[in-house]
A and B are shown apart, each in its own frame.
Chain A
Amino acid sequence: QQQVKQSPQSLIVQKGGISIINCAYENTAFDYFPWYQQFPGKGPALLIAIRPDVSEKKEGRFTISFNKSAKQFSLHIMDSQPGDSATYFCAASGLRDSNYQLIWGAGTKLIIKP
């Protein structure tokens, strides 16, 4: 079954700390793993994405770590800031009838305390 499991459901981190959100997937046909950030009343915005041929990707303060054998990937936000407070979704997709629809985790509500 195509599923992506995300944890934790909510997370509170002090300003300047590291925020870590984890996801696990089941379908080995997935070949694209994006993270989206969503603010209230807004649509999801692509933050960073990784493909299974690399184990880590870093863009600024955001890093994805990918473990293909464990079928897990995680988002690390370094030096977390109050402006990072949002809901974060992991997702996965792979070729399915040529459309690459995204399969989403349930989301993590992140609160950065000043």
Chain B
Amino acid sequence: GAGVSQSPRYKVAKRGQDVALRCDPISGHVSLFWYQQALGQGPEFLTYFQNEAQLDKSGLPSDRFFAERPEGSVSTLKIQRTQQEDSAVYLCASRETAGSEGNQPQHFGDGTRLSIL
């Protein structure tokens, strides 16, 4: 597709369950970001991939959060033993270039709205 695609669009899980959120970036984009957006707030950085390498995971809130991008394209954000405070919209963004090539626009998907009951 032409844009960043995320699935599922909505996910409801019971507290304690594991969830997996998928991101299909724009084809050929080197950089991939995950952000968490709480209701009524701006997105907050979670983690960054350059191709398959996870170069920054400083924003992951706990060791229950895990992200991967094994072949440098599709990425999965996994949350283990979900808690109510994990309820948020999870946004994925991709960028054509690596960070070393300068600051370029990030293109966002429509997010996955995660609700933990």
Chain A residues in the interface with B (C-beta under 8 A): 6, 31-32, 34, 36, 41-46, 49, 51, 89, 91, 93-107
Contact = CB atoms under 8 A, between A and B. Distances in A.
Contacts of B56: 96-97, 99, 101
Interface residues of B, number: 31
B107 A46 contact: yes
Given A98-B99, A102-B45, 12 more contacts: A43-B93, A43-B109, A46-B107, A51-B103, A89-B43, A99-B48, A99-B56, A100-B99, A104-B42, A104-B43, A104-B44, A105-B42
Contacts of B95: 100
22 contacts: A32-B103, A34-B105, A36-B108, A41-B110, A43-B4, A43-B6, A43-B91, A43-B93, A49-B105, A89-B42, A93-B103, A95-B99, A95-B103, A98-B99, A99-B31, A99-B33, A100-B103, A101-B45, A101-B56, A101-B59, A105-B42, A106-B42
B25 interface: no
Interface string B29-47: 0010101000011111100
A41 B9 CA distance: 9
Given A43-B4, A43-B91, A97 B42 contact: no
Contacts of B110: 41-43
A101 B48 contact: yes
Contacts of A42: 110
Contacts of B31: 99
B2 interface: no
